[in-house]
Amino acid sequence: MSDPVTLLKKAKEGGKKIVGFYCVFAPQELILAADALGFALCATKEEPIADGEKTLPRNFCALIKSSYGFAVTDKCPYFLYSDLIIGETTCDGKKKMFELMSDFKPVHVMKLPQSYLDDNDKLYWLSEVEKLKSVLETTLDVKITEEGLVKAIRVLNEERLLMQELAGLMKADPVPVSGQDLLKLMWGRNFTFDRAQFAEQMKEMIRDVKEIIASGKGAFPKGAKRVIVTGVPTGVGAEKVIKIIEDCGAAVVYIENCAGMKQFVTLVDETKAPMEAIAEKYLNTPCSCMSPNPRRMEILDQLVEEYQADGVVDIVWQGCHTYNVESRVLKDSLKKNSNTQFLHIETDYSQGDAEQIKTRVQAFLEMMN
């Protein structure tokens, strides 16, 4: 019953429209207000990469090759059943990949500005969000009303607050749950059919975690080294480095990237006009594709303090130039502001370098003694 193919088929038969997107810049409120199901399709598995490489250059990042491999082979049911794909120009690789994808699927690409700081960029992004609204209305044959948007904002803000509450519980020592378990829950949100049900699950999880904290137990012994993970998305299937960190005995107390908390830290302002407020929230995403990206540095300074982190691990996929360059900026910023230990790991979806990464992570943890 609960397998995605069956659920997707049933939803389609019931007249539901399905929208796939690739990035946390895609305004999910619009999809919800269009009464469609939205799924994040950024792929995290190694298997489809070979199919991706039939078309894409080998030195592209694993995420793009895996996503394209899934799409082109119809192996991802969420992609297969999507009525529309929303692409985002977060990097050159993805931008060109969406061009190829549009040959076999209806794709609408949202063109991001290069910065979230300037007023003209904000205005321009609002026009892109407006354009998406009309594309959704035409393609899905629906009307997105102001009332629908207000409701969608409320639903997703509530989810964001629940995510924030759950993540905040990781400030406890001992850490109540492992970073890997937290990741699974956040990942599950990408494939939610019923938002109310998901909110209930979240509340239940928060209750459970509070109980664990009250009992004094935890996933790691009290005093275990506390690590914040940042960088590229590290969804389930691509959690290699997070697993290595935790296997080495340190707790991943916060996952800052797009597979983690990045999209949940800011709410859509409910006091503003819905479209402006939505555009504002999404453009504020502290992604390395924005230049410059001071918000990411500020957020990490704050997180290191709040979560009492002993170190920050920046995970970067080979071929992801913007995160790779920004690693240096982040390292210097953390050193200057809090002298926090920093480790940059450049890797891909394969397991070939697991032992080398383990040595690096262990040495990194030994530095904290």
Partner 1 sequence: MIVAGIDAGSTTVKVTLYDGTRMESWLGLAGWNPRAEATALLGQAVANWDTDLEGLGYIIGTGYGRVNLPFVSKSMTEITCHAKGAAFLYPGVGTVIDIGGQDAKAIRVDGNGKVSDFIMNDKCAAGTGRFMQVMANALGLDVVDMAQMELLPGEEVCTINSMCTVFAESEVIGLLNQGYSRQAIMAGIYQSIASRIATMAATVCPQSAIVFTGGVSQNVWLCSALENKLNMPVIVPDRAVFAGAIGAALYAWDEVTK
Instruction: Name the site residues for partner 1 (rule: CB under 8 A).
Output: 346, 352-353, 356, 359-360, 362-363, 366-367
Q: State how beta strands 226-231 and 311-317 pair.
A: parallel
Nearer to partner 1, 218 or 311 (CB): 311
Strand boundaries in the chain, DSSP class E: 17-21, 36-40, 84-88, 107-110, 226-231, 251-255, 311-317, 341-347
Using CA atoms, how far apart are residues 241 and 353, in angstroms rounded to an integer?
10
Nearer to partner 1, 158 or 353 (CB): 353
From the CB of 163, what's the least distance to partner 1, in Å? 33
From the CB of 318, what's the least distance to partner 1, in Å? 9
* Position 57, amino acid: P
Tell me the C-alpha to C-alpha distance, in Å, between residue 195 and each of 16, 32, 37, 310. Answer: 14, 10, 10, 35
From the CB of 366, what's the least distance to partner 1, in Å? 4
Tokens of 364: 């990194």
Using CA atoms, how far apart are residues 352 and 105, in angstroms rounded to an integer?
34
From the CB of 51, what's the least distance to partner 1, in Å? 24
Nearer to partner 1, 200 or 366 (CB): 366
Tell me the C-alpha to C-alpha distance, in Å, between residue 263 and each of 43, 87, 246, 283, 286. Answer: 17, 17, 24, 11, 9
What's the helix, strand, coil split of the chain in %, to 5? 55, 10, 35
Nearer to partner 1, 173 or 346 (CB): 346
DSSP state of 233: -
From the CB of 228, what's the least distance to partner 1, in Å? 18
Nearer to partner 1, 8 or 238 (CB): 238
From the CB of 361, what's the least distance to partner 1, in Å? 9
Nearer to partner 1, 139 or 337 (CB): 337
